Structures are given as C-alpha cells and as structure tokens.
Structure 1
C-alpha cells in the first residue's frame, strides 16, 4: 500500500506540489486579505479559501506536466 502511494506521488509530483502551494496561498489570502463583510463565498471561510487555493494550484501546476505519448504522434520535418 505504501509503495503504491509513493509511486503515485512520484508520478504526479507537480500536481501534489501545486495543491500544497495553492492551499498555503489560499489560507494566507484568507488570513491577510479575507472578507470583512462575510458575504464573500470563497474568502469568508478559511476552509473554503484553502480548498479553492488547492484546486487552483493543482490545476495550474498540472499544465506544466509533460504528455507521455510514446510513438503515437511523431513530427518529422522535411526540407
């Protein structure tokens, strides 16, 4: 079980890092900027802000993950 978890994390390290960075960023945004009126759906609660930051961080960092298409689409340049 532990091997599978470590293998998953190693395979998706960028996404895991993005989730962690986004969660920290979302919490810090709530802490220092936040919502004074309490009517903001995302920033009024530290849980919502942290989860939203984690989601956005994971999505942002997943864009940097290279595609592993082996031999399906080879581009050849002809001159």
Structure 2
C-alpha cells in the first residue's frame, strides 16, 4: 500500500498487533509508536518483547488467554499510557 494509506490505517487502529515470532526489528511498531498507538506482540519473539519492554510501549502474549487479557487491558485501562 502507499505511504499515506499506511499512515491512515495505523492512525485509525486502536492496537497494532504483530503476531510474527520471527522479527529482528519491526518498523511498523516504531511507526505505530510515532502516532501514539499501543502494540501487542508475539511473546515468542524476544526482540519484539524487548522492543515493547524498554519504552513501555506495548504488551506481549504467548497464548490465546494472554492475548485476550492484553487486549482487554489495553482497551479498558492502559491505552493512553502505552504507545
């Protein structure tokens, strides 16, 4: 997609989810944070967990139950504190 469309999509989202366990650096996480969006990443990827932990910009999950809890927490209590 073109750049304006990408930025519009990111700006319109509530949470950016990166399910890939195979990332070395996720540019889309940086882009989401640039517009103040929280992220939720696959907890099986140490790099993404580190990217979320250091700036406190998101949560991670390792299973379906953790995913559901993380989404609920982001939507209902911490969205404005992450991103």
TM-score (norm 2): 0.28
- Higher-Rg structure is 1
Higher relative contact order (CA 8 A, sep 6+): 1
The answer to which structure has the higher helix fraction is: 1
The structure that is strand-richer by fraction is 2
Output the TM-score relative to the length of structure 1. Answer: 0.28
